[in-house]
Structure formats: structure tokens, C-alpha cells
Amino acid sequence: MALVSNKEILQYCDHEWAVGAFNINNLDDVQAVVHAAEELNSPVILQVSEGVAKHFGIEMVAAICCTAGAKASVPVAVHLDHCRSAALAVEAMRHGFTSVMIDGSALPFAENAALTKQVVEIARLCGVSVEGELGKVGGTEDDLVVDEGSLTDPEEAARFVELTGIDVLAPAIGTAHGVYKSAPQLDLPRLAAIAAKVSVPLALHGGTGLSDEQFRGCIKGGIAKINIGTEVKQVQMAAARRYLEESGVKAEPRPLSKAVQAAVLEAVKEKMRLFGSAGQASRWA
């Protein structure tokens, strides 16, 4: 199955189910996420933060993710998350990313729209899809720290989508990146109002720590892409600690990778079942 863009991978969601976008940290994660998708016949998005892109180099991480995606038996999109510069977004496109997020949410509306539109115009020429953010999702994601979130206005969202031509919109509806300090309060009426005003799929940021009920409510309200980042890291680190404790001095790197991969694979499968993406890859057959 070929690599696809986020626009293509989200096209069938329609308030019934959503595709998980899992932030990867290394090769083990890439394989675990793709294998989970294959085992459940689910479409999936391999998501790469700016921090991970800089850590490995964009060319290396693109090669790893695109190779894993192209070899997969299910549709896989390779997406650059929260990219704050047009230059890095273009670099990602050059190296094969099928989708990029240009995050101008820290800028005033007009500047955010101008930056986003610039990236959309280039992406169109390459068949790459673009996600934009309006409003501010608070919290911490790798080296992206947003102290104070602010919710998205539905009218402004419609204007933003029209002005920029983005393929996917990330609205702020009360979620935050990282670990929640108190139970997240989601503004589902706001989500419904945004979904009614815009014609593009919506992306939910800050998926770690939401309840099953909140995920279901978001999907019903129009969320088509659900980002999970922190939970992947938590599962990974817990599995590594467990393996090292249990195997003591005999610990070897490849069995350690295997143990961590198995844990990430199970966690990702659980999310795919919850989001309803399991079994949906047959639509592309």
C-alpha cells in the first residue's frame, strides 16, 4: 500500500471514527506503530515532532518513516508535527513527508494565515497536505511550550480555512499537550460549531490523558485525527524500566527494544480500537 497524505487518510472519517497520529521517538516506535496498524488493518499516521526531526536530522527520519510506510500493508501518512518555520516544512516535503503541520498559532491571526498560506501553496505543488492551527493548544510537547492556551473562535476558524486553503485544521477546544494537571474540560459545543463552519477534517491535539468518553465525544463532534504523543513515551519508558529491572545484568539492547516495542504496539492497538480505525484500511483496498 502506498504512502498517503493526511488529506487522503482522513477522507472517510465522517464523525464516525478517527485516525490516530502517534508521535514516534525512534525506529522501535516506527515499527511498533506500523505493525499495530497492520495487525488491526487500520490506517495510521506516523507523526514526527520538530524535536525528533532535529534530533535525527529530517532526511534520516523521513527515510525511516517513509520506508516503513511504503512497505506497510495499510495506508500510512508521514506527518511533521508543529513545524514553526516554512523552511523546515519545505525541507520535510523535499525528503518525502506526505503531510506537514505549520504552526503559526503563536502569531496574530493575519500573520498565522499568511505563513500557513505560503506553506499550503508550496505543498500543493508537491501533493503534500497541510495542517494549520488556530487558537492555542497549551502545554508542553517536546521543545514546544505554550503557557496559556486560548480556544478557537468558530467564525475565525472558517475565515482561516478559507484564507489559507489548509487540508486539516487543529482547533483549540480545551485539550493541552503533555500531562494534565487537572481533569481536562473539553468544549464540545465549540467543537460542533467549528465542525459546522469548516469543510476540512479536524485534528485533536493533546490526546494523552483524555477519557474514552471524551475521545468518543470528540469523534462525534467532528475530530478525524487524534494526536497521541506523551502516552507513547510513558509506555516506552515504563516498559524499558520493567525490562531492565527484570533482566538485571543480562540486559541486552535488542531484547530491550523488543520488550519496548511490544508495549508500544499494544498501547497503539488499544487506541486504534477505541478510535474505530481498526478494520478501516479495507476502504483503500
Active site residues: 81
The torsion angles phi and psi of 244, rounded to 5 degrees, stand at: -65, -40
Based on CB atoms, which residue is closest to ligand 13P, 83 or 161?
83
Among 28, 29, 50, 81, contact with ligand 13P (rule: CB under 6 A): 81
Cell readout for 29 is 516506535
Q: Nearest residue by C-beta to ligand 13P?
A: 229
Q: Is residue 207 close enough to count as binding ligand 13P by CB under 6 A? A: yes
Q: Which of residues 113-142 bind ligand 13P (CB under 6 A)?
A: 141
Among 82, 190, 225, 271, contact with ligand 13P (rule: CB under 6 A): 82
What is the rounded distance in angstroms from the CA atom of residue 255 to the CA atom of residue 6? 33
What is the rounded distance in angstroms from the CA atom of residue 212 to the CA atom of residue 202? 18
Based on CB atoms, which residue is closest to ligand 13P, 5 or 23?
23
The torsion angles phi and psi of 72, rounded to 5 degrees, stand at: -75, 155
Q: Is residue 228 close enough to count as binding ligand 13P by CB under 6 A? A: yes
Q: How far apart are the first and last CA of the chain?
A: 8
Sole window of 28-36, 113-121, 123-131, 223-231 interacting with ligand 13P (rule: CB under 6 A)? 223-231
Strands (E), 84-177: 99-102, 129-134, 138-141, 144-146, 168-171, 176-177
* Residue 180: its H or E element: none
Q: Which of residues 171-190 bind ligand 13P (CB under 6 A)?
A: 177-178
Sole window of 36-44, 190-198, 201-209, 254-262 interacting with ligand 13P (rule: CB under 6 A)? 201-209
Q: Is residue 229 close enough to count as binding ligand 13P by CB under 6 A? A: yes
Helix axis angle for 230-247 and 253-275, nearest 10°, is 140
Smallest separation, CB 175 to ligand 13P (Å)? 7
What is the rounded distance in angstroms from the CA atom of residue 260 to the CA atom of residue 157? 40
User: CB-side exposure of 20: number of CA atoms within 13 Å?
Assistant: 31
Q: Is residue 230 close enough to count as binding ligand 13P by CB under 6 A? A: yes
Q: Is residue 227 close enough to count as binding ligand 13P by CB under 6 A? A: yes
Q: Can you give the binding site for ligand 13P, defined by CB under 6 A?
A: 23, 81-82, 141, 177-178, 205-208, 227-231
